[in-house]
Structures are given as structure tokens and as C-alpha cells.
Amino acid sequence: MKTMKTVLAVAVALGMSSYALGKSVAVKRKDFGYLVLGTIVTVSKGSSVALLKHRASGKTRAVRVGSIIESDLLLSAIGKKMVKVTQKGKTYSVRVGSSAEFSRVNTRNIAARQEGLQRRKGNVTVSASYKDHLIKNELNKILMQAAAEPAIKDGKVVGFTLWAIEKGSIYEKLGFRNGDTVTNINGNSLVDAGQAVKVLVSLKNAKNLALSYTRNGIEQQMQVRVQ
């Protein structure tokens, strides 16, 4: 978390919208009360995780596919752009960034404003106001600006590989490229989807981030400082 999905309390997940950039369609449909912040889709679909925020309480938690969210509400499927929930025998699709059935969200690219983010090689400086703006107002969009999938080595997860990075997105501004595999954040190895989500959520108030990632098999380092 789908990476400023990673760097700024994102969770790794999740691809470009098939709808026209800059447009959104507001459709009033059944609202389940849980905002889908992002997803991590694993090779084994039974291990996929969705990051859900309870709209009433503001509480955020990671929910594995097949788990009961509450009462008769079941998280029945998880994809890069959408989850499915089952209630009273009926299954509904909810898009990332929404809490309502088939609700579409605006996925306009979020370009880092020049004064908000500066990068020089592996050193990135982010202003506190820009970071707060991204987390408070743009998190659901950030989570849709790239896809992330587990990187497997010797049968074990060693990190998460970024794909489908949108041009002009925060990932591109940070210097990430398609195929980069994020392996460690602030000393925490990313060894499974659930643990990765916990690490990402814990970064909300972090002032300094140290990221390790590999590019073409070569380990790289990135230092992100919030000021």
C-alpha cells in the first residue's frame, strides 16, 4: 500500500482506471459503510488483502479475502481495482476508493507540485503540508496509480513489485519505475501482504523513511524526509 501507496500509508495496489481521466460518475447505490482504500492481490488469491476504512468510526483495518467484515457482510473477492462483498446471498462490486456498489471515482493523475516534492537521486524531500494533503484528500487516488504484486524468491515473498505506474503519478515523481521491487521500509522487510499493510499504515506519522528496492537485480536505496 498499491510506494507513496507505499511511502505515504498506501498499501500497494493498483492500476489505472478504465474510465476517462479527470471524469467521475456519481451514482447513488447501496453503501456498505466501509471505504476501500486499496488492495494487495497475491498470486494465491486466497491470501489477498483489502484495506478498509469504517466511515463512521474512522478505523482502518486489513481484511483478508473470505473474511467476515461484520455481521452478514462477507469480503468474497479482491481485485486490483475492485472488491466484491456478499450480503444476504447477494454479491456486490465496490471499486477501490469507494464504499458504494459500482461507484466510480475520479482517477486523475496527481502530479507532485514542484514546491511539495523535490528529488535528487535517492534523496527525496516532501513538505509536511503536501504529505498531509495527499493522505487526507488523495489517498484513494494514489492507491490506484500503480499496481503491486508479491515478488517470490525460493517460494517466499521478498517484497512487492510495482507495475502500471501512471505517468505523472506520485510514484513516478519519487523515481520509481515499472519492475522495481520494494523490499524493506524503515527496517521492516515486506514478507507478506498482511504485514506489508501494517507497515504502510504505521508510516502515516513518519518523518523519515528509508526504503530499499531492487531494480534489474541491483539493490537501491531511497531516503524520504518530511519537513
Number of folded domains that form the chain: 2
Residue 209: domain span: 117-226
Same-domain check for residues 124 and 217: yes
Exposed/middle/buried for residue 86 (C-beta within 10 Å: 0-12, 13-18, 19+): middle
Q: Return the closest-CA partner of residue 8 out of 221, 201, 227, 186.
A: 201
Are 41 and 80 within 8 A, CB to CB?
Answer: yes
Q: Is residue 111 part of a domain?
A: no
Q: Is residue 153 part of a domain?
A: yes
Same-domain check for residues 76 and 122: no
Same-domain check for residues 126 and 56: no
pLDDT of residue 115: 54
When mean pLDDT is compared across 20-24, 30-34, 78-82, 202-206, the lowest value belongs to 20-24
Q: Is residue 205 part of a domain?
A: yes
pTM above the 0.85 mark? no
Q: Is residue 214 part of a domain?
A: yes
Same-domain check for residues 205 and 157: yes
Q: Is residue 3 part of a domain?
A: no
Q: Is residue 55 part of a domain?
A: yes
What confidence tens digit (pLDDT) does each residue in 99-145 have?
888 644 343 433 434 458 888 878 888 888 887 777 776 666 777 78
